[in-house]
Structure 1
Amino acid sequence: MPNLLSETSGLMAFVRTVEAGSFSAAARDLQTTPSAISKSVARLEKKIGARLFLRSTRALTLTQDGHILFERVAPLLRDLDSSDEAIRSEITPSGRLRISMPSEFAPLLLPRLFDGFASEHPNLRLDVGLTDRFVDLIREDYDVVLRVGNPAPADLMVRRLAELPMVVVAAPDFINGMEPPETVEALAAMPFARYSLGGIPQPLRLADGMSFIPSGRVDCDSGAGLIHAARSGLGAAYVLHCLVAQELAAGTLILLAPAIPFPKLPLNVLHAFGQTAPARVKLFCDFMAREAKLLEAV
């Protein structure tokens, strides 16, 4: 491969086009024009003597050579970018920090994030997205993502923050006239507000690895929805203990089957900056690690 040090702008244009999905989106990120991005990529293609994209009126598709170059170059450029920012912001972290977290964590984490982290770092601009879907961290331009469960992407840095216990809860009136479930079979026979992804009800898992698909007439794709349904007496709900601690203390929800062991789910923070994350990302991860321990203890 020819020496590409003279094509830094072309490499940046190429990598951002792949990550953003189009010349237009890459141009917005790099504060230039789609034409300039296209010309930079064309010069790079001429330099290496290979097509990097298959171009059509509707989409850009990476060629095999494009895949190879992206896999080699993208981590290097990210490391250079983040190293430069880390040096510049070591004393006073600044700039935008874009965060994604599950919506049900908002009542627990946002007050701490805004009252603590934001006030400690006044030069940071926070952009917080609340969604229960798994965002594409790179293509959707997030710096850090909080996720519950075991992450799949092998190209992301994962830091485990806490192990959060799961419980089954219901409204007090829900079990009137019923025997409290003391066995897995009795629990499986009860109606649930079910957690559903893409219209598919998800299994309720036990600590020993066993699982079952609960029955019920209410399906939700978020923990917050399950809690509301349970509070309304529409079924039991299988949720994180930290999300219902206040309702349990107030008596608006009660624990079902406390003798049956349920698993703990990992709370992780993910980013794509490799080993040289910017100071703003490191500070956020350290802050969340401290706060997550409080959730673990709830």
Structure 2
Amino acid sequence: MQGLLSETAGLVTFVRTVQTGSFSAAAKSLGATPSSASKRVSRLEVLLGAKLFRRSTRVLTLTPEGEAFYERVMPLLREIESSTDVVQSHGATSGHLRVSLPGEMGRLLLGPIFSNFMQAYPGISLEIGMTDRHVDILRDNYDIAFRVGHSDHNGLMSKTLSHLDMVLVAAPSLIERYGKVEETAKLRELPFARYSVQGRPYPVRFADGLEILPRGRLDLDSATAIKEAAKLGLGVAHVLKRIVQKDIDDGSLVVLLPNCELEKLPFRALHAFGRMPNLRMQLLTDFVTNFIRASA
């Protein structure tokens, strides 16, 4: 153990090399030379008795041992980096967070985060990625990801912040073509703008357990795209109610089967830092939770 702890420079260099993709880029971020960065990792490999990288003149890739070591070591180094949180007051909290937000929900959150959270915590800087794709938190180097829906999160800590109402909506023009929808069986006859990830469309689930796999007119992986397709009459949309509420209010979209309760979807925060998130992450998670619940 003492031998590994004595190679902290090698550990940091190894993690940074994986994140940046090369010794030269890692060295630049650490204020070192490429040759010294390479030597640090080589010493670490000797100590471990295993090759962490496959080296060639053009490509630097992780070995299976390197992948396993990275997934174990990177969260630990992040924890050490954030250890100052335990002696900082909330107002004095500082540091950087790399955050993943779901696309359309993220748009609802950006204004409050910019105008309220960042003003309340001037020492915290943010890098925000917005996508409905379920990012690989470890591989893509995110500190925390906010996700809507059910998903595998092996190796991650997950906290459910809220449960969000879903709704079935369609443009008035689509209803004119296909007629009123007065029972769930009618949904099987309608075209949908379906949410689909890696070729797998998501079903429509009702609170009573009924599940319908809609007929696809369009398969999309973005709530924004699904909403726009629905407004143009291309298909029914099964989406979060809050992202189409304005369209419902102005008549651009009409709610189908309003008396049939749909299964709510969980809104989660995921991270890979052991059982407790660092203070920056906790502050942002609490802020997002309070905003989501207050705006329900």
Give the TM-score taking structure 2 as reference length: 0.87
In the other structure, the counterpart of 2:134 is 134
Instruction: Please say which of residues 171-180 and 85-94 is displaced more in the overlay.
Output: 85-94
Tell me if structure 2 keeps the 8 A contact 1:166–1:264. yes
Cα pair distance change 1:72/1:253, threshold 3 Å: closer
**Gap regions ≥5 residues in structure 2:** none
Instruction: Kindly indicate whether residue 186 of structure 2 is the aligned counterpart of residue 186 of structure 1.
Output: yes
**Gap regions ≥5 residues in structure 1:** none
Instruction: Please say which of residues 118-127 and 173-182 is displaced more in the overlay.
Output: 173-182
Cα-Cα RMSD: 2.6
Summarize deviations over 1:239-277 as a string: whole Å, max 9, x none.
Answer: 111111122222221110123331111111122222453
1:31-46 alignment to 2 at 5 Å?
31-46=31-46
Q: Secondary structure of 1:289's match?
A: helix
Distance apart, 1:218 and its partner CA: 3.0
In the other structure, the counterpart of 1:143 is 143
In the other structure, the counterpart of 1:113 is 113
In the other structure, the counterpart of 2:172 is 172
In the other structure, the counterpart of 1:215 is 215
Give the partner amino acid of 1:7. Answer: E
Give the partner amino acid of 1:111. Answer: G
In the other structure, the counterpart of 2:62 is 61
Give the TM-score taking structure 1 as reference length: 0.86
Partners of 2:30 and 2:86 lie apart in 1 by: 19
Instruction: Kindly indicate whether residue 24 of structure 2 is the aligned counterpart of residue 16 of structure 1.
Output: no
In the other structure, the counterpart of 1:291 is 291
Tell me if structure 2 keeps the 8 A contact 1:19–1:138. no
In the other structure, the counterpart of 2:155 is 155
In the other structure, the counterpart of 2:47 is 47
Summarize deviations over 1:267-289 as a string: whole Å, max 9, x none.
Answer: 11122222453322111011011
Summarize deviations over 1:154-198 as a string: whole Å, max 9, x none.
Answer: 222222111012110012232126442232221111122222323
Cα pair distance change 1:286/1:245, threshold 3 Å: same
Partners of 2:28 and 2:276 lie apart in 1 by: 25
Distance apart, 1:213 and its partner CA: 3.0
Give the partner amino acid of 1:175. Answer: I
Instruction: Please say which of residues 106-115 and 49-58 is displaced more in the overlay.
Output: 49-58
Partners of 2:112 and 2:48 lie apart in 1 by: 50
Tell me if structure 1 keeps the 8 A contact 2:91–2:121. no
Tell me if structure 1 keeps the 8 A contact 2:195–2:222. yes
Tell me if structure 2 keeps the 8 A contact 1:168–1:236. yes
In the other structure, the counterpart of 1:278 is 278
Distance apart, 1:12 and its partner CA: 1.9
Summarize deviations over 1:83-142 as a string: whole Å, max 9, x none.
Answer: 135535755122322221122123311111112111111222222222221222233232
How many residue pairs end up in the alignment? Answer: 295
Tell me if structure 2 keeps the 8 A contact 1:194–1:201. yes
Distance apart, 1:229 and its partner CA: 1.4
Tell me if structure 2 keeps the 8 A contact 1:194–1:214. yes
Give the partner amino acid of 1:135. Answer: V
